[in-house]
Amino acid sequence: MNHKIIDLAKQFRISVIHDGTFPIEDQYQEYLLRLLQAEAEKREERSLAERLRQARFPAFKSFDEFDTDFQKGVTRKELQLLEKLEWLDALFNLILIGPPGTGKTHIALAVGNKAAREGYRVAFSSMDNLIHVLKTREISKKSAGRLGWIKKCDLLIIDELGYLPVSRAEANFFFALVSELHEKASIIITSNKGFDGWAELLGDAILATALLDRLTHRCQILNFTDESYRLANRMQIFDNNQI
Ligand code: ADP
Ligand code: MG
């Protein structure tokens, strides 16, 4: 029998096909193969849609749209390496540091989108929302469900660490999550603050050191220091020259 039929029958656990209990006559093999392939495609489409839904990306961003002439903190070649996603299999983390509007979230979303399309489970969350989910997991089914997905994902993207203060208890929750994911998943963090600022934010230098120790063990850090892309490409309702 066609080995593709056997592989698909195994994948779908139709044992009577692949163990030979139900022989398929030659004239039906092509038809059956097409049927199984159509089902495989449909399932792949559904699981991609589900991965994209669970990821909760706030927007679509791609690597192609990213202008490395404008942002000197990352080269085209480095972007290509990031895009290959091999670093996800090697469980590397990525930390993007820089002022607002410099493309940190753009890169995080481009990685996330590519990863979800290639079959990785991804979760995108702002730091605020992540803290909320961690704090309410015992009283909210929604939070518990979200945390369930986060804990089984291959890539967790934490956006905007550093904008809002974090209490001691929240910092501990956050540390516990990072420790749990450490060496199981990759983490991307975007932040407007450097590592010194993280210690201040978490309100505990020892905790911050332990956190950075885990996060930076296998990690690429990119510093984006240029001017804001948003400001440079600002659009206005009124064109100044015309008024
Ligand atoms: P940050 O997360 O650093 O505050 P964003 O990634 O949200 O900044 O970028 C702000 C906006 O500018 C987004 O719409 C993003 O797509 C765009 N942008 C920023 N940097 C670049 C760049 N180098 N090339 C193309 N678009 C960019
Ligand atoms: Mg951002």
What element of type H or E holds 11?
helix 3-11
Calculate mean pLDDT across residues 167-192: 95
How many helices and strands (H and E) does the chain possess? 12, 5
As a whole number of angstroms, the distance between CA 103 and CA 122 comes to 20
Residues near ion ligand 2 (Cβ under 5 Å): 105
Calculate mean pLDDT across residues 78-104: 96
Q: Say which ligand is closest to the CA of 126.
A: 2
As a whole number of angstroms, the distance between CA 171 and CA 212 comes to 13
φ/ψ of 70, rounded to 5, equals -75, -45
Q: How would you list the strands of the sheet with 219-223, edge to edge? A: 122-126, 155-161, 186-191, 93-97, 219-223
Radius of gyration in angstroms for the set of CA atoms belonging to the chain, rounded to a whole number = 23
Evaluate if residue 110 carries a pLDDT over 60: yes
CA 165 to chain CA mean position, Å? 24
Calculate mean pLDDT across residues 211-226: 92
Single out the residue of 50, 39, 55, 3 nearest to residue 24, CA to CA. 3
Any ligand 1 atom below 6 A from CB of 61: yes
For the chain, list the domains and their CATH numbers: 3-54 (no CATH), 76-231 (3.40.50.300)
Q: What is the mean pLDDT of the chain?
A: 93
Quick one: tokens of 106?
């753009």
- Given pLDDT bands bounded at 50, 70 and 90, which one contains residue 164? confident
- Cα 61 to middle of ligand 1, angstroms: 9
Any ligand 1 atom below 6 A from CB of 190: yes
What percent of the chain is predicted at pLDDT more than 90?
78
- Cα 97 to middle of ligand 2, angstroms: 10
Q: Which of 76, 106, 158 to mutate to test the pocket of ligand 1 (most atoms within 8 A of CB)?
A: 106
φ/ψ of 148, rounded to 5, equals -60, -45
φ/ψ of 115, rounded to 5, equals -65, -45
pLDDT tens readout for residues 13-69: 999 988 889 888 889 999 999 999 999 999 999 999 999 999 999 999 999 999 998
Q: What is the pLDDT of residue 240?
A: 64
Handedness of CA 173, 178, 181, 187 (dihedral sign): positive
Evaluate if residue 143 carries a pLDDT over 80: yes
What element of type H or E holds 189?
strand 186-191
Residue 218: other Cβ atoms inside 10 A:
14
What element of type H or E holds 126?
strand 122-126
Any ligand 1 atom below 6 A from CB of 227: no
Q: Say which ligand is closest to the CA of 61.
A: 1
Contact present, 112 and 106 (Cβ < 8 Å): no
Q: What is the pLDDT of residue 227?
A: 74
